[in-house]
Amino acid sequence: SLYFINRYEGWVVGWPGVILHTPDGGMTWEKQQSGVYCELKSVYFVDEKSGWIVGQYGTILHTEDGGRTWIRQKSGTRSDLNKVYFVNRLAGLAVGDNGTIIFTLDGGRTWMRYRSGTDEDLLDITPDKNGLIISGENGSIIRYSNPDLTVEIPKKPWDTRREKPIETISGMWQIIHEGGPNLVAIEFVDEEHGWAIGDDGTMLRTNNGGKSWGSHKVGYPLVGFHFISPEIGFAVAEDGTYLTTVDGGVSWQVQNEKHKPYRLAYDSEARPIRVPYKLNCAFFPLSSEGWAVGEAGGIIHNVDGGPRWTAQESESGWNLNGLFFLDNRRGWIVGGGGTVLKTITGGRIWLSLESGTGIDLYGVFFTDPDYGWAVGDYGLILHTENGGKSWTGQRSGVRVRLRSVLFLDRNRGWAVGDKGMILSTENGGERWRREESGTSSNLRHLWTDGKRIWVVGEGGVILLRR
């Protein structure tokens, strides 16, 4: 059973004793404790705080705090209850098997039996201006007209008010570069030397802080890179090819031609085969040590900048789209189906965390071991304050795919995505506002040196916020 009190907040109940609550229109769901182990069949709220649930064996649960706590009420019956309906905080009705009808006039402190005149299982309650219509199996219909239950016909349980438009500010971003390949990542090693990589094997390079950019062909579609000086850098290609440069990215040398990583798969006859990785993203938290993630739960790790990348077990079959490490031990990965993985052992063990959503995630960022954010499809923004043990949704005010997120501290942050979308917050995501980007291109990646914020995207777009 599913019930929404407005366009954002709703509950769903089921077996065994399951109660889920969403504050954001179903993008994220959190578990609420029912305290029972039976099938829950119907849920109804008269406002955002006061609600009832009914189920097997005459179970009735009631909350006065939006479901944070549920209290069991005595129904006076052992029959399964299939539907509950309230017209206000005091007057309500529940129906169930064997012709059961019970009603209350005091919010459920006492429930009284009503003779239905049938033994058929009763399944539904529908209000009309003359009373309540109860329907059940084999075409059974009962009109219930207790005046105390029909003096108020409830309003449609839906918030029809228009959502307040998201605040928009302009003049914050400057377009530095346009034209060329789709760019997927950007990074600077100092104020002058920076690089951006494209999905066609192109690398852009600047020696003057982004005033001008030169183009170099790497020959491989790159998914991530890192420079430790203006000359020395590392890069990972989509198929796991690992490259290094000692001349600032002008030329690149393949380091793992003999040790290229492959993942295990199965052919049409279920025989094990080795196939190339298809990676989506790479991250180098400190110097040469790095991780890369991709399709079918693929994770590979390089410990020292050498030619060998080794597989790490994720126990996930979802495509992995983004990752972030605070150091060489603590990291997070996000991916399809709301996947969130965490390690505190440098990837020797990856733990699967409950995100509360089934929506695909693309970007993740942590300011410290506790505070983090993840972004994904339909404008989804998730936030955690306990390292990912639990996540709550933040209202972005947009519906486009968000691909990357970055925070300077626990308060100031940005998220970017499709159609030139840039969002910012000054209070940790309690309120997000839109910053005009000046472009309609899909934006793919955020990066900062603590002073300047850079964004890259499709069509060779590079944006700068000082």
User: Which tens digits make up the pLDDT trace of 89-99?
Assistant: 999 999 999 99
- State how beta strands 168-169 and 433-435 pair: parallel
Tokens 């059974």 identify what position?
A: 140
158 in a structural domain: no
pLDDT tens, position by position, 173-201:
999 999 999 999 999 999 999 999 998 99
77-81, 216-220, 268-272, 342-346: least confident range: 268-272
Task: Indicate if 172 and 142 belong to the same structural domain.
Answer: no
Task: Indicate if 135 and 203 belong to the same structural domain.
Answer: no
Task: Indicate if 99 and 194 belong to the same structural domain.
Answer: no
Q: What is the pLDDT of residue 305?
A: 84
Residue 151 pLDDT > 70, yes or no? Answer: no
Task: Indicate if 178 and 290 belong to the same structural domain.
Answer: yes
96 in a structural domain: yes
Average pLDDT over residues 139-158: 62
Q: Which of 116, 150, 184 is the last residue of a domain?
A: 150
Tokens 């649960």 identify what position?
A: 61
pLDDT tens, position by position, 346-394:
999 999 999 989 899 999 999 999 999 999 999 999 999 999 999 999 9
129 in a structural domain: yes
Task: Indicate if 209 and 330 belong to the same structural domain.
Answer: yes
Asked if 280 and 293 touch (Cβ cutoff 8 Å), the reply is yes
119 in a structural domain: yes
Residue 139 pLDDT > 60, yes or no? Answer: yes
Separation of first and last alpha carbons in the chain: 50
Q: What is the pLDDT of residue 152?
A: 46
Q: Which of 94, 116, 150 is the last residue of a domain?
A: 150
Task: Indicate if 192 and 122 belong to the same structural domain.
Answer: no
Average pLDDT over residues 276-283: 95
- Gap between the Cα atoms of 444 and 430, Å rounded: 23
Q: What is the pLDDT of residue 161?
A: 47
Task: Indicate if 344 and 448 belong to the same structural domain.
Answer: yes
- Gap between the Cα atoms of 100 and 274, Å rounded: 62
Range of the domain at 146: 2-150
Task: Indicate if 145 and 219 belong to the same structural domain.
Answer: no
Q: Which of 115, 150, 185 is the last residue of a domain?
A: 150
Percentage of the chain with pLDDT > 70? 96
156 in a structural domain: no
Q: What is the pLDDT of residue 149?
A: 56
Task: Indicate if 111 and 229 belong to the same structural domain.
Answer: no
pLDDT tens, position by position, 23-74:
888 888 999 999 999 999 999 999 999 999 999 999 999 999 999 999 999 9
Residue 288 pLDDT > 90, yes or no? Answer: no
Spatial neighbors of 120 by CB under 8 A, at least 6 apart, are 99, 136, 137, 138, 140
- Gap between the Cα atoms of 349 and 346, Å rounded: 8
Residue 128 pLDDT > 80, yes or no? Answer: no
193 in a structural domain: yes
445 in a structural domain: yes
Asked if 283 and 299 touch (Cβ cutoff 8 Å), the reply is no
Domain count for the chain: 2
426 in a structural domain: yes
Tokens 């020395």 identify what position?
A: 232
- Gap between the Cα atoms of 4 and 48, Å rounded: 9
Average pLDDT over residues 86-108: 93
Percentage of the chain with pLDDT > 90? 80
Average pLDDT over residues 114-134: 87
For residue 293 the two structure tokens come to 């993630």
How much is the mean pLDDT over the chain?
92
Question: pLDDT grade, residue 431 (50/70/90)?
Answer: very high
Task: Indicate if 196 and 144 belong to the same structural domain.
Answer: no
What 8-state DSSP symbol labels residue 97? G
Beta bridge partners of 413: 407, 425
Residue-wise DSSP of 212-223: S-EEEE-SS-EE
Residue 155 pLDDT > 70, yes or no? Answer: no
Name the more confident of 423 and 26. 423
Spatial neighbors of 411 by CB under 8 A, at least 6 apart, are 425, 426, 427, 428
The single-letter code of the amino acid at 322 is G
For residue 268 the two structure tokens come to 């049409």
Average pLDDT over residues 204-232: 95
- Gap between the Cα atoms of 138 and 117, Å rounded: 14
For residue 136 the two structure tokens come to 């059940």
Average pLDDT over residues 265-288: 89
Task: Indicate if 288 and 408 belong to the same structural domain.
Answer: yes
E-state strands within 87-193: 92-96, 101-104, 112-113, 122-128, 131-136, 141-144, 168-169, 174-177, 183-188
Average pLDDT over residues 268-294: 91
C-alpha distances in Å from residue 373, one per residue of 2, 14, 283: 28, 30, 17
E-state strands within 57-121: 60-63, 71-73, 81-86, 92-96, 101-104, 112-113
156-170, 250-264, 350-364: least confident range: 156-170
Find how far residue 282's CA is from the centre of its chain. Answer: 20
For residue 437 the two structure tokens come to 């980007």
Q: Residue 38: which CATH number?
A: 2.130.10.10
Task: Indicate if 126 and 200 belong to the same structural domain.
Answer: no
